[in-house]
């Protein structure tokens, strides 16, 4: 993939996720210039040095960074990973309150130095934070959106591909809704090649998929992050890769279809909350595909997801 001339990506937050986004972006050549910004000066400087020391092996991208927000100057894309991690016993609403405060302080400063950037929010709970950030900045909804269920969708496709005996690229499936407990797969649109998933005959002689099995796959995908966090304390590599992929779709003006999370406006009757639905991602940002159809039970699940998120957002306003 060719790096776009003079394209600039700033990653906000030099923790496990932010550093992984920067690392993935450098290796993939997602942007010509990568900047890492965090108020923890020593940590940020160390991460930037560590990344820069590998510059011989990563193509033509370069990396800068520090604790001064001016490193983000002129960014085309800003990926926000900064925020507190969920502590044991802490509720999602408590975490949302802490991270909403951090974002409220930071967004005006980022807009000062990168007024034309597209903002991608990775900090959790990303859907709620996207609504609050969009409301407080007044940015058009397409220019500030969350990474949403892009990673969850990758997890889903990986599981289906393993079981079906095909390449991940041949699995067409999406997780939509909240990036969290109320997310769900769009089974009505899931195909392997052109074959609906329940009609697929696995190549290794295994039986066809069943509805019960698909239900279990949905649960496994939803809970995948918990398993990783339990074992190593954080999820970082896969979210780093998926965020770099979103950045590329923006910088290369790809018009790629991805399930990112934007503030919806009468999308199948849902307004004022950010939910992941198939969207076209380009240099303008993200635009939900309004023609996406849902089965009756899927529409109910979408409404349920919207209700859960609206409750959290309302409690923080």
**What residues form the annotated binding site for NAD(+)?**
13-18, 38, 43, 83-84, 99, 105, 122-124, 147
| Binding site feature residues | 13-18, 38, 43, 83-84, 86, 92, 99, 105, 122-127, 147, 152-155, 157, 172, 235
| Binding site feature residues for substrate | 86, 92, 124-127, 152-155, 235
Compute the chain's Rg from CA coordinates: 19
Q: Give the burial class of 27: count Cβ atoms within 10 A of its Cβ; 0-12 exposed, 13-18 middle, 19 or more buried.
A: middle
φ/ψ of 144, rounded to 5, equals -140, 110
Contacts of 203 (CB under 8 A, 6+ apart): 164, 165, 166
Q: Which two tokens stand for residue 95?
A: 């975490």
Using alpha carbons, select from 144, 120, 137 the residue that is nearest to residue 13: 120
Q: Give the burial class of 98: count Cβ atoms within 10 A of its Cβ; 0-12 exposed, 13-18 middle, 19 or more buried.
A: middle
Q: Can you tell me the distance from the alpha carbon of 127 to that of 103, in angstroms, rounded to the nearest whole number? A: 13
In the set 53, 76, 179, 268, the catalytic residue is 179
φ/ψ of 168, rounded to 5, equals -55, -35
User: Among this protein's residues, is 179 annotated catalytic?
Assistant: yes
- Looking at the annotation, which residues are catalytic? 179
């Amino acid at each position: 993939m060719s790096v776009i001339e003079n394209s600039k990506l700033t990653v906000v937050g030099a923790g496990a996720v932010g550093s992984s986004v920067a690392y993935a972006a450098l290796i993939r050549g997602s942007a010509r210039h990568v900047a890492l910004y965090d108020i923890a000066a020593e940590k940020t400087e160390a991460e930037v040095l560590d990344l820069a020391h590998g510059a011989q092996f990563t193509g033509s991208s370069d990396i800068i960074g520090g604790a001064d927000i001016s490193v983000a100057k002129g960014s085309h894309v800003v990926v926000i990973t900064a925020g507190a991690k969920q502590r044991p016993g802490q509720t999602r609403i408590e975490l949302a309150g802490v991270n909403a405060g951090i974002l409220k302080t930071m967004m005006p400063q980022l807009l000062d130095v990168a007024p034309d950037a597209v903002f991608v929010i990775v900090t959790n709970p990303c859907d709620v934070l996207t609504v609050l950030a969009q409301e407080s900045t007044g940015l058009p909804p397409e220019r500030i959106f969350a990474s949403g269920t892009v990673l969850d969708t990758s997890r889903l496709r990986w599981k289906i591909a393993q079981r079906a005996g095909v390449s991940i690229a041949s699995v067409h499936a999406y997780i939509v809704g909240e990036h969290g407990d109320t997310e769900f797969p769009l089974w009505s649109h899931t195909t392997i090649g052109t074959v609906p998933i329940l009609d697929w005959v696995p190549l290794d002689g295994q039986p066809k998929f069943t509805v019960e099995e698909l239900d279990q796959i949905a649960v496994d995908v939803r809970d995948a992050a918990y398993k990783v966090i339990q074992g190593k304390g954080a999820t970082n590599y896969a979210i780093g890769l998926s965020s770099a992929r979103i950045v590329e779709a923006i910088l290369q003006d790809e018009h790629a279809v991805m399930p990112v999370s934007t503030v919806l406006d009468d999308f199948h009757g849902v307004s004022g909350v950010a939910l992941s639905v198939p969207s076209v991602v380009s240099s303008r940002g993200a635009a939900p595909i309004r023609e996406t159809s849902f089965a009756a039970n899927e529409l109910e699940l979408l409404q349920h997801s919207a209700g859960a998120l609206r409750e959290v957002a309302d409690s923080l306003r």
